[in-house]
Each structure stands twice: as structure tokens, then as C-alpha cells.
Amino acid sequence: MPKLKLITFGCQANDLDSERITGLLLREGFTLTEQEEEADLILLNTCAIREKAEHKVYSRLGSFQALKRQRAGLKIGVCGCVAQQEGQALLNRFPYLDFVVGPGQLTAIPPLLAGATRGVETARAPGYSYPVNAPVQRRSGIRAWVSIMEGCDRFCTFCVVPFTRGRERSRPAQDIIEEIRGLKRQGYREVTLLGQTVNSYGSKLTPPISFVELLRHIDQLVGEYMRIRFTSPHPSDVTVELADAIAELPSLCEQIHLPVQSGSDRILHRMKRGYNRDEYLEKVALLRARAPEIAITTDIIVGFPGETEEDFRATLDLMQEVGFDSAFIFKYSPRPHTEAERMPDQLPEEVQGRWLEQALALLNRLSLERNRSYIGRTVEVLVNLEEAKGDSGRHTGRTRQNKIVHFAGEGVADGSLASVAITGATPLYLQGELVC
């Protein structure tokens, strides 16, 4: 049987695409291998969000040249966002590359493999791309990604996603419900709904349906049996209805990843994020008023073109004002096709690096403070032994707020719910003892 080595970079959308690619290729008779040396097919599922991510792909591809010479019949393919961005240019640059497939064309992989010539498949169909009956080979039997939309219409000036993933396309609600019904039947305990601006779901479907309506349908189906999360929502589309749904629906977890990017109005405007600082803070206040238990995490970019020390201070100040539970903080990186790439006032790496360190130091303090507030409380943990990383006698899991908990105790099964008394905290996780 031919062997597949699949290497995945990037976000949850790519993780799910890799599970789809695996499903498609197992159906073609492939088995999986971890070893590049014994693979008959090496696939790179790539990310283009920052320059570094893209470079990783090229250096990895470079390392396959010798392998290709040694191993007759070895095929190498590139999928994902770099594939979409670069297309034919990748085949030109890497003569030993066999095919290039964009993220909206996964089902083209088996026919491309069968073909004798090198190929590029980056055309996009107008609707949602992955057929409802096509396979998904998930890595976990407990937690699943479920895509509800593809693409993005927002064109933030720093972001490559609208170019790599195309315009926003929502998946029919019935298909989503069917997939989740199947996951429930198989014993899954958690579903994370995926989309680049997940809460703008459905407005372009006929008939239109809102994200919150979809959440309510899903909740009726899964009730307390499953935990539902979603990522990433856009702040502009956070509504009273969404805040109420988080507060009311038993399945919907008290957690939101709400990317702010900057605390400076001037920078938010140049980013074309569509909200200002006060509007973001109002959304946070709304969520906390309706769902006081909610944990709020975010994404932040430092060193955007033209950002001044004062703008950066405004970001630190906003971080403090919100008191984020956690955050991903990135140095701005210029991306092809984007407006920000063409802005004249790009900042030196040295300034970006200094700001990144300062922001991370503040985040560390804020996360520790938030996590310490759980000490003395008993929380419900969905046990996740995968995250335990071989630390025997310790278990790990996640709270409804998506906080990682390390706890001692015997005999808890992966995927079960456990009550854990929290006794300690670090910026990255909580520590506790099993109660029952």
C-alpha cells in the first residue's frame, strides 16, 4: 500500500483540511507514515499568513530535492494557502514538485495523483467547496472541527486570507447539522465551528440564516451532551443575541476568541478593521454583562506600518483594560497583494521585537491574574489525555472557558467530564485535584 506523509502548517482551517485530505487519500488506498524517507507521497498543507510561515514551506520543500532523487515514484504536492497564492510559480521554482492544489480544491488531489503530468488546481467554485459526503479522517475521537464557512470579505489591510481563501461562502445549515448529528452518534463531546469571520455566517444563504439561529439549532440537537465552541468571530458582528446565546445555551461554552489587533483608533482605521477602540470595549462589556463567566482571548499585531510609540501604548492600555485571559501576539509581516504592504512607513524589525516582548510580558501578568482567580473554585473539565504529554499520574483537560487544567487523580477516561478543584495557576494553565 502506498504511504502518505502529510505535513500541516497554519490555522484550524488547515488542520481540518488535513483531516479531509487524509480521508480522501485513505479512501484511495494510502496509509499514513511519519517518516518522509518511506513515503510515496509527501504533501505540505501550507500557511501564508506571515512571511515566516511561507519561508518554512520553501525550506521544507528544498529539503525534499535529494529524497526525490533517491526514491523512484515519490510524488510531492503542495496544498493550502501558499499553493493558492503562488500557483504555477511553485512548479517553476521547484522542478521536482508534482502538483499544487488550493484550499478550495481538495477533491482534485486524487485525480492529480493519477495523472502523468504536473498540475495546478487553484480555480474556485462559487459555493462552499467540500462536498457533504466527502470523507474526513479526524485525529481525535472526542473533539472535532466543523467548518461552517470559507473565505472572508473583510480585506483588513494586513491580511492575505481573502486572497488565499477567497470570498465568504457559507455552508448550508442542513449540511452542518447533519455532520454534527453524525459526530454525536459517534460519541464526540466537543465541536468547534470554524470560519474566518464565523459570526457573519449565513447572511448570503437563501433563505438567509443568522449565526445565532444556527447555534440554537445545534444546541437543540446536542444539548448538554456536547460542548460547542466557535472561532474566530469578528468584533463588529458580536450582537446582543450572540451574548445571550453564550449565556443561555447549555452547549455553548463561556469563551470567545475576539481578535482586536490594536488598541489605537488610528491604527485600527489604517487596518480597516471596521471598529474603533470604544466599540471593541463595548462588545467586551456586553459579553461580560450577559455572560459573566466568559473568558476572552485575542489576537494582537505589533509594529503595523506607521505605528508610533503612542499607538503601541494604546494597545498595552487596552490589554490591561480588558484583562485578556490569553492572546496571540504577532509582529506585523508584509503580505503580497495587501494594502498595508504598499504603505510607505514600514517599521524596523528591532522596534517590532521590542514591542512584542513588552506586550508578551504584560500578557503574562494578565493571564496569571485571570487564572489565579479560579483558585478555590471547582470547575468542569473535559478530560483530554492527548494534552498530558506523557506526564504520568497527571491528567489534563479543558474547562468550559477553554483553560487547560493539569490535575492529579486516578481512573478518568479520555473524553469524560470531571470535577476538578483548582489549587494553583500559571499564566498558561490551572492546576487542581480531582473531586469526582
Q: For the purposes of burial, counting CB atoms within 10 Å of the CB of 367, is it exposed (0-12), middle (13-18) or buried (19 or more)? A: buried
Rounded to a whole number of angstroms, the minimum distance from the CB of residue 158 to ligand SAH is 4
Check residue 402 for interaction with ligand SF4 (CB under 6 A): no
Task: Give the residue with the Cβ less far from ligand SAH, 333 or 396.
Answer: 333
Q: Which is nearer to ligand SF4, 272 or 290 (CB)?
A: 272
* Alpha-carbon gap, residue 256 to 118, rounded angstroms: 43
CB of 150 vs ligand SF4, minimal distance in Å: 11
Among 138, 143, 165, 227, binds ligand F3S (CB under 6 A): 165
- Strands across the sheet containing 255-257: 255-257, 295-302, 326-331
Total of residues contacting ligand SF4 (CB under 6 A): 10
Which of positions 268-327 make contact with ligand SAH (CB under 6 A)?
A: 299, 301
Going by C-alpha positions, the residue among 246, 175, 179, 185 that lies closest to residue 216 is 246
SS3 154: coil
Decide if 161 contacts 11 (C-beta within 8 A).
Answer: no
Query: In Å, what is the CA distance from 117 to each residue of 75, 113, 145, 301, 394?
Result: 11, 9, 34, 42, 52
Residue sitting closest to ligand F3S (CB)? 10
In the list 80, 195, 235, 303, the residue contacting ligand F3S (rule: CB under 6 A) is: 80
Cβ atoms within 10 Å, residue 357: 12
Out of 162, 202, 397, 432, point to the residue binding ligand SF4 (CB under 6 A).
Answer: 162
When CB distances are held under 5 to 8 angstroms depending on the partner's kind, the choice from ligand SAH, ligand F3S, ligand SF4, none that residue 162 binds is ligand SF4
In this chain, which of 18, 164, 170, 399 binds ligand F3S, going by CB under 6 A? 164
**Rule CB under 6 A: which of 4-43 touch ligand F3S?**
10-11, 13-14
Applying the rule CB under 6 A, the residues between 209 and 238 that interact with ligand SF4 are 234
CB of 184 to ligand F3S, least distance (A): 27
Residue by residue, DSSP assigns 389-433 as TT-TTEEEEE-TT--EEEEE-S-PPTT-EEEEEEEEE-SS-EEEE
**Between 154 and 290, CB nearer to ligand F3S:** 154
**How far is residue 16's CA from residue 18's CA, in Å, rounded to a whole number?**
5
CA–CA separation, 367 vs 49, rounded Å?
Answer: 25
CA atoms within 13 A on the CB side of 268: 21
**332 touches, from ligand SAH, ligand SF4, ligand F3S, none (C-beta below 5 to 8 Å by class):** ligand SAH
DSSP string, 45-99: EE--SSHHHHHHHHHHHHTTHHHHHHSTT-EEEEEEHHHHHHTHHHHHH-TT--E
Q: Measured from the CB of residue 102, what is the shortest distance to ligand SAH in angstroms?
A: 17
What is the closest distance, in whole angstroms, from the C-beta atom of residue 247 to ligand SAH in the complex?
A: 23
Cis peptide before 232 (omega within 30 of 0): yes
- Residue 105 in the binding site for ligand SAH (CB under 6 A): no
Alpha carbon distances (Å) from 264 to 215, 268, 302, 313, 314: 32, 6, 11, 8, 5
* Residue 395 amino acid letter: H
> Which string of x and - marks every residue 195-234 that binds ligand SAH (by CB under 6 A)?
-xx----------------------------------x-x
Dihedral, 256, 257, 260, 263 alpha carbons, nearest 10: 70
| 8 Å CB contact between 118 and 91 | yes
Report the partner that residue 20 touches, choosing among ligand F3S, ligand SAH, ligand SF4, none (CB closer than 5 to 8 A by kind): none
Give alpha helix (H) positions in 333-377. Answer: 349-372
The Cα–Cα gap between 120 and 244 comes to: 46
Beta carbon of residue 302, minimum distance to ligand SAH (angstroms, whole number): 9
Number of residues that bind ligand F3S (CB under 6 A): 13
Which of 335, 370, 395, 398 binds ligand SAH (CB under 6 A)? It is: 335
Binding residues for ligand SAH (CB under 6 A): 49-50, 158-159, 161, 196-197, 232, 234, 259, 261, 299, 301, 330, 332-333, 335
Binding residues for ligand F3S (CB under 6 A): 10-11, 13-14, 47-49, 80-81, 160-161, 164-165
Binding residues for ligand SF4 (CB under 6 A): 152, 154-156, 159, 161-162, 196-197, 234
